[in-house]
Amino acid sequence: MLWFHNARLIDPEQGGDKIGSLLVRDGQIMEHDGPCPEAAEAIDCHGKCLAPGIVDMGVQVGEPGAQHKESLRTAGLAAARGGVTTIVMRPDTDPAIDTPEVLEYVTRRAQARTPVHIRAMAALTRGRAGREMAEIGFLLDAGAVAFTDGDRVVTDTKLLSRCMSYARGLGALIIGHPQDAGLAAGACASSGKFASLKGLPAVSPMAERMGLDRDMGLVEMTGVRYHADQITTARSLPALQRAKRNGLDVTAGISIHHLMLNEFDVGDYRTFFKFTPPLRSEDDRRAMVQAVAEGVIDVICSMHTPQDEESKRLPFEEAAPGAVGLETLLPAAMRLYHSEGLSLPQIWRALALNPAQRLGLPAGRLSSGAPADLVLFDPDAPFILDRFKLQSKSKNTPFDEARMQGRVLASYVAGACVYAREQEDA
């Protein structure tokens, strides 16, 4: 039994942000008022924040296939250190998680190796090749929380509509990557003055809107539950709002990088700033922050994509996209609190409550009966990020040497401490 007291409790469900105490028994949060029960271990939080652990929707783990970039073990350690208590793994492994066998293999290995929860998404089509439907029913039974081909767009609309119809019958969630594949082919930047000056092949932000429009049409046709993995441009927002208003079961996410960085950060061809979709204009970035504040965008995730040095030490066009994010998600998100005027409960809705609810997980809450997946953090603690101190095997973060504010002090999974900053410092 644990009794957290003198804690600034961040409750995304109730919108609460006040000093209080919290009791944990048998891995669950308990209803409790008053002093410390006798049998409980008291933890003085010194007024620091205690919030539900982050549910990171869309993490790439290199296992199986690319353990040299990230393994289940290192991803788990990184997550614990970053206050992520549930990793929602992307199926873009090699082989892809497209059969119940691969899913079981991953789940079994994860249980033995990672201190945090790992839930896997499964591929929507076999081998993520966009040609035949994966075994959605079997995969759902084996524990898949959602179905997606990652950043590969299923271009065959007939196949996608069948996948959606089939998934609807099972109540499964489909995660799309809204992008017009034709327009986006070969692009590594957002079109505009910057890309033209740098001579980089670029794609118009309109390609995202067109992809979203197509997907919304199919969702309306099939009635499937749908989540857009990343909405990154202002042009997509009206289409998203319209779909929600019309009662479609649609949600959307964004990576923390698209909320914090813009196209100019690429600067002199810095490949750690190469993402799919590419970084957008400052106008777009600000519109996205606004959309998160208003709840039009539901989920913030890290889009953790480990890449080794060799994949990044290439000319910009040839370099691999993506960045690690498990350990930088929380401090980066604190910028929303310090600089963009969002409240902590607002941020935690997007980091924990909404993704958990969308995926049907009990986490993301502080109410009685919820699993005691918690993160204790200091929202103000300043530091300069050193990428070589990250737990992730890969060190490709755009926040290297960035001044950040907000540190995780401890993480708890089902009431057990899986990371404590004190021990690391000691």
Contact set with another protein (CB under 8 A) = 186, 191-202, 204, 268-269, 310, 313-318
Per-residue three-class SS string for the chain:
CEEEEEEEEEECCCCEEEEEEEEEECCEEECCCCCCCCCCEEEECCCCEEEECEEEEEECCCCCCCCCCCCHHHHHHHHHHHCEEEEEECCCCCCCCCCHHHHHHHHHHHHHHCCCEEEECECCEHHHCCCCECCHHHHHHCCCCCECCCCCCCCCHHHHHHHHHHHHHHCCEEEECCCCHHHHCCCCEECCHHHHHHCCCEECCHHHHHHHHHHHHHHHHHCCEEEECCCCCHHHHHHHHHHHHCCCCEEEEEEHHHHHCCHHHHCCCCHHHCCCCCCCCHHHHHHHHHHHHHCCCCEEECCECCCCHHHHCCCCCCCCCCECCCCCHHHHHHHHHHCCCCCHHHHHHHHHHHHHHHCCCCCCCCCCCCECCEEEEEEEEEEECCHHHCCCCCCCCCCCCCEEEEEEEEEEECCEEEEEHHHHHC
Judged by beta carbon, residue 196 or residue 368, the one nearer another protein is 196
Give the nearest distance from C-beta 318 to another protein in angstroms.
6
Residue closer to another protein (CB basis): 38 or 401: 401
Q: Which residue, 235 or 407, has its beta carbon nearer to another protein?
A: 235
User: What is the rounded distance in angstroms from the CA atom of residue 188 to the CA atom of residue 302?
Assistant: 19
Smallest distance, Å, CB 196 to another protein? 4
Q: How far is the CB of 278 from another protein (least distance, A)?
A: 13
Tell me how far, at minimum, the Cβ of 193 lies from another protein, in Å. 4
CA dihedral 387, 388, 393, 394 (to 10 degrees): 40
Q: Which is nearer to another protein, 136 or 234 (CB)?
A: 234
Least separation in angstroms between residue 33's CB and another protein is 60
**Closer residue to another protein (CB): 129 or 314:** 314
- For 223, the token pair is 């009635």
Nearer to another protein by C-beta: 31 or 401?
Answer: 401
Q: How many residues does the chain have?
A: 426
CB of 402 to another protein, least distance (A): 20
For another protein, give the closer residue by CB, 190 or 276: 190
C-beta of 314 vs 384, nearer to another protein: 314
Q: Shortest gap between Cβ of 122 and another protein (angstroms)?
A: 33
Residue number with CB closer to another protein (193 or 403): 193
CB of 152 vs another protein, minimal distance in Å: 21
Minimum gap (Å) between residue 74 Cβ and another protein: 25
The smaller minimum CB distance to another protein, of residues 273 and 419, is found at 273
Taking the C-alpha atoms of residue 128 and residue 118, their distance in angstroms, rounded to an integer, is: 21
Least distance CB 315 / another protein (angstroms): 4
With beta carbons less than 8 A apart as the criterion, state whether 31 and 22 touch: no
